Amino acid sequence: MGRDRASIKDVARVAGVSVGTVSNVLNRPEFVSEPTRQRVRDAMNQLGFVRNATARQLRAGHSQTVGVVVLDLANPFYTGIVRGIEDRLAEDNHLLMLCSSDENEDRETRYLRQFAEQGVRGILITPFGNLNERFDILTNLQIPVVLLDTHSPDMACVSVDNVKGGRLAVAHLLDQGHRRIALFNGPLEIQQCRDRSAGTMAAVYEAGLDPAQVVVEVALRDLTSEAGAEAMAALLDSDEERPTAVFCVNDIVALGVMRALREHDIAVPEEMAVVGYDDVPVIKELRTPLTSVRQPMHDIGWNAADLLLTGKVKQVRFSPELVVRGSSDYHR
């Protein structure tokens, strides 16, 4: 068994000073002479003293910890967002507790409850499913919530115009001459999936075409490269008319799609164009670099954390950008 944690009283006893002096060394060192400060520090080192931040925050009435829940930490897009969050929190000496819901509402609910029990200062979340009573509970507990990469007219949020992003991707494929486009999409409980699908249909309508004739929407079991590869292989092996382009709801799915195309000896982009979404760093290193809709990952995270800490604005909305690379840069 480990030894008991050293207390302020223990430090005061070893240093030969009062508990108030130790407290001043920790919180107001300028009030204590240098020789006394050094004696207290020596006692802390001797005892292995570490201050109890939780107790200190309870006494002060506020926490320096922020809870973060994203859909899938395996996706580098969320890693980029979390880095932005961390950079902003560090400016105010705050820490983050990070969880992945794995697109599971029960798991997400459990994390939100645990964050509330920990007394976090606030929560940043990419929600799965509808914004329902889970957030009402947090509001009643006066725990601020900021939505990440999700838009709501009624809540604090930092988002990207995903309808525009879907429109940019599919308009590009239509301009390249494609008239049969597969949309590899995720669960419609995820707002980003719904919005990118809406943008896809809008681009087809704006081109004067019928989405029923142009778009083949494929529902994925999850948003992973393995799911993308399996769906692409199934589509290629089916008797349906083969599309000439694929728009993937994120870059990780697109990586799986490109793997399946290689395994079936289908040339990208000459026989099949591929477009992803997010513009994560790895896609530029592929033998055929991936065209993608760029989202400002770091800026999303930084602004969400800033909104939570300062409350200066209620909502921030970014505009996506299409980055054309070799996977679709071929006119049919």
The DSSP call for residue 328 is: T
Q: How far is CA 216 from CA 162, 224, 235, in A?
A: 19, 19, 10
The structure's pTM equals 0.81
State both tokens at 207.
């081109």
8-51: which CATH architecture?
A: Orthogonal Bundle (1.10)
Q: How far is residue 228's CA from residue 136's CA, in Å, rounded to a whole number?
A: 36
162-295: which CATH architecture?
A: 3-Layer(aba) Sandwich (3.40)
pLDDT at site 45 = 86
Closest CA to 276 of 261, 295, 263: 295
pLDDT at site 62 = 61
Closest CA to 183 of 230, 217, 221, 232: 217
What residue ranges of the chain have pLDDT lower than 50?
1-2, 58-61
Closest CA to 182 of 259, 273, 293: 273
Q: How far is residue 22's CA from residue 18's CA, in Å, rounded to a whole number?
A: 7
* CATH 1.10.260 residue window(s) in the chain: 8-51
Backbone angles phi, psi at 265, to 5 degrees: 55, 40
Mapped onto helix, strand or coil, the DSSP state of residue 218 is strand
CATH top-level class for 63-160+298-318?
Answer: alpha beta
pLDDT at site 134 = 66
Closest CA to 181 of 230, 233, 238, 242: 242
pLDDT tens figures, 114-170: 888 888 999 999 988 776 666 776 777 788 999 999 998 888 999 999 999 999 999
* CATH 3.40.50.2300 residue window(s) in the chain: 63-160+298-318, 162-295
Q: What is the 3-state secondary structure (H, E, C) of 109-133?
A: HHHHHHHHHHCCCEEEECCCCCCCH
